[in-house]
Amino acid sequence: DALWSITSAATLGITGVFVIAGGLLLKETEEIYKSAVRYLYISIILFGIHLIPAALFGNTEWYKAIGFTLSTALIIGMVVAMVKLTSSEFFMPQEGRTAQPIDLKPGVMVVNGKEYQKLREKLKDRPVLAFVRDVTQVPDGWQYYFVTTIPFQGRFKNTINPTNLARMTELAYKYLEESARMGEQGVIVIDCLEYLTVYNSWESLMKFLSKLRDFVIVNKGTLILVIEKESLENRLYAQLRKLME
pTM for this predicted structure: 0.60
List, for residues 48-101, the tens digit of each pLDDT value. Answer: 898 888 777 777 777 778 888 888 898 898 888 888 777 655 555 444 444 356
Could you tell me how many residues make up the chain? 245
Q: What angle do CA 21, 24, 28 make, to 5 degrees?
A: 140
Question: 153 falls in which pLDDT band (50, 70, 90)?
Answer: low
List, for residues 212-241, the tens digit of each pLDDT value. Answer: 999 999 999 999 999 999 999 999 989 998
What residue ranges define each of the domains in the chain, with the CATH number in brackets?
2-86 (no CATH), 95-244 (3.40.50.300)
Q: Where are the alpha helices (DSSP H) in 28-130?
A: 30-33, 35-57, 61-86, 95-98, 113-122
